[in-house]
Amino acid sequence: MRAVDIIIAKRSGKDLLPDQIQFFISEYVRGTIPDYQAAALLMAIAINGMSPTELTHWTNAMLHSGRVLDLKHVGGLCVDKHSTGGVGDKISLCLAPAVAACGVPVPMVSGRGLGHTGGTLDKLEAIEGFDVHLPTERFIELVGSVGVCMIGQTEDIAPADRKLYALRDVTGTVESIPLIASSIMSKKLAEGIDALVLDVKVGKGAFMEDERQARRLAETLVEIGTRAGRRVTAYLTDMNQVLGREVGNASEVAEAIEVLQGSGPPDIRELTVLLGAEMCFLGGRAKDIEAGRRQMESVLENGEALSKFDQMVAAQGGDARVAEEPDRLPSARMHKDVPAKGSGYVVAMNPRQIGIAAMLVGAGRQKASDQIDPAVGITMLKRIGDPVRVGEPVAVLHHNGSPAADESVLMAANAFEYSAKPPRPSVLVLDRIQSEG
């Protein structure tokens, strides 16, 4: 079998056979197929797509390119959550411990931020000492003993994805739905989970701005999971404004702690409860979504979710005192108001610009090698629908003497649109897409 023949077949619009896919993935991971041939195949897939059967085999080959974890001994059905990324999306930080407090084991392998979207790992590392690089055996142990563990992708989990992901970024093949879906699901299935809840963001601050494309991605993800024998539910959620108030790393941890303390911004709490309710249902701890909601609301109110967060942080080497003392998190030395450029009501916002503005002062990365400053970011003072006067602060930029501070303020100011008439109320959750059975 030759790699070039497989490339030609896909270029010609043919479905790849299971043995062709297995050969290509395994040999690429082994290093006998070079990057330039893998890049050619990725482009052929991006142009011609993949059939459901073909995509199933492709994902399966990526999944089995490394270790597939066995979590059966931890007790109970293991359920994870994945978000396609947004601005201010700190949901995992409060969701995972809250669901674990409801009795559902949560093994969560997360990623880092790049560009305008933040990364869960970067936020966790704002907590002094928190270790996201645990060995696989320790990860499995903590899922069993604590009920939740949050780490980065290890060397032995889906190595094919790690290589292909880096290649897609430099070959113009990032936006391909089959490649996005197989990347997400190969990593998640390799965790050994029984079920998965997906938060597929839609809007100006999302990876996919078009709802039809986002729906296609959600349906593809659900189908892959279903074919793999897992229960999967996807939610389409709005990303046309920043989630919550904070955009940054330490500040987003503090905001997640607010939710774990029983308060926090309404949209963050709503998504936490909704996605957690679904996880409790899929994990067999709730008879339906409503029962799951009651469980989630209970653990957020009675302190059990906060206690589980405390346990997770301590188990992973972090300063668990932040659960009761969020002021222990890093904070910026300097602050600049972002003034409103109009009066009336905020009728629209561009979260992508807000995310980039935060990135410019060190809250995110323009390239993977950039260093994060956990203390910096942006606090949103106004949301869509709020009244505002010209010159009034709509946000505050927090920085540590960044030369890009003025540019960031201008970019953030330009992210808001105003009108004399208030906008229609926005909807946070657009749809729910679930697997059959």
**CATH number of the domain bearing residue 37:** 1.20.970.10
The DSSP symbol for 328 reads G
Q: How many helices (H) and strands (E) does the chain have?
A: 16, 13
- Say what the pLDDT of residue 174 is: 82
- Same domain (yes/no): 249, 312: yes
CA 212 to chain CA centroid, nearest Å? 20
190 and 308 together in one domain: yes
What CATH number did the domain enclosing 251 receive?
A: 3.40.1030.10
Q: How far apart are the C-alpha atoms of 260 and 303, rounded to whole Å?
A: 7
Active-site annotation holder among 161, 194, 267, 310 = 161
Q: Give the separation between CA 374 and CA 11, rounded to whole angstroms.
A: 44
Residues 242 and 386 in one domain: no
Catalytic residue status for 161: yes
Dihedral, CA atoms, 261, 267, 272, 275, nearest 10 degrees? 170
Helix (H/G/I), strand (E/B), else coil: 188: helix
Q: Has residue 289 been placed in a domain?
A: yes
In-domain check, residue 188:
yes
Same domain? 123 vs 198: yes
- In this predicted structure, what is the pLDDT of residue 68? 93
- Do 232 and 137 share a structural domain? yes
| Contact (CB, 8 A) for 34 and 4 | no
Interacting residues of 270 by C-beta distance below 8 A, sequence separation 6+: 428, 429
CA nearest to 374, candidates 90, 106, 155: 90
On whether residue 215 sits in a domain, the answer given is yes
Residue 176 lies in a domain: yes
The pLDDT, as a whole number, for residue 115 is 64
Closest CA to 379 of 362, 361, 400, 394: 394
For residue 349, the SS3 value is strand
Whether 308 and 339 share a structural domain: no
Task: Report yes or no on 64 lying in a domain.
Answer: no
Q: What is the pLDDT of residue 50?
A: 96
Alpha helices in 31-176 (DSSP H): 35-48, 52-63, 91-101, 120-124, 136-145, 159-169
- Percent of the chain residues topping a pLDDT of 90: 87
Find the catalytic residue in 183, 251, 408, 435. Answer: 183
Quick one: 337 and 309 in the same domain?
no
Active-site residue flag, 169? no
Q: Give the number of other Cβ atoms within 10 Å of residue 404's Cβ.
A: 15
Domain boundary among 326, 341, 360: 326
**Do 116 and 261 lie in a common domain?**
yes
How many domains, the chain? 3
Radius of gyration of the chain from its Cα atoms, rounded to whole angstroms: 22
For residue 371, being part of any structural domain is answered with yes
Q: What are phi and psi of 90, to 5 degrees?
A: -110, 20
Is 55 among the domain residues? Answer: no
Full residue range of the structural domain in which residue 22 is found: 3-49
Beta bridge partners of 395: 338, 380
Give the domain-ending residue among 326, 351, 383.
Answer: 326
Contact 15, 57 (CB under 8 A): no
CATH number of the domain encompassing residue 344: 3.90.1170.30
Q: Which of 326, 354, 389 is the last residue of a domain?
A: 326
Is 61 part of a structural domain of the chain? no
Q: Is 183 an annotated catalytic residue?
A: yes
Per-residue tens of pLDDT for the chain, all 437 residues? 899 999 999 999 999 999 999 999 999 999 999 999 999 999 999 999 999 999 999 999 999 999 999 998 888 999 999 999 899 999 999 999 999 999 999 999 888 776 677 789 999 999 999 999 999 999 999 999 999 999 988 888 899 998 998 888 788 888 899 999 999 999 999 999 999 999 999 999 988 899 999 999 999 999 999 999 999 999 999 999 999 999 999 999 999 999 999 999 999 999 999 999 999 999 999 999 999 999 999 999 999 999 999 999 999 999 999 999 999 999 999 999 999 999 999 999 999 999 999 999 999 887 777 889 999 999 999 999 999 999 999 999 999 999 999 999 999 999 999 999 999 998 999 999 987 65
pLDDT, tens digit (0-9, with 9 covering 90-100), for 43-54: 999 999 999 999
Per residue in 319-362, pLDDT tens? 999 999 999 999 999 999 999 999 999 999 999 999 999 999 99
How far, in Å, CA of 332 to CA of 397, rounded?
9
Which residue among the candidates 10, 168, 293, 382 is catalytic per the annotation? 168
Task: Show the DSSP H helices in 228-282 as ranges.
Answer: 250-260, 266-282
Pair (367, 265) in one structural domain: no
CA dihedral 50, 56, 62, 67 (to 10 degrees): 170
92 is catalytic: no
Contact (Cβ atoms closer than 8 angstroms) between residue 385 and residue 422: yes
Which structure tokens are listed for 349? 């916002």
Same domain for 318 and 358?
no
Whether residue 317 is found in the same domain as residue 358: no
Residues 281 and 395 in one domain: no
pLDDT at 21: 98
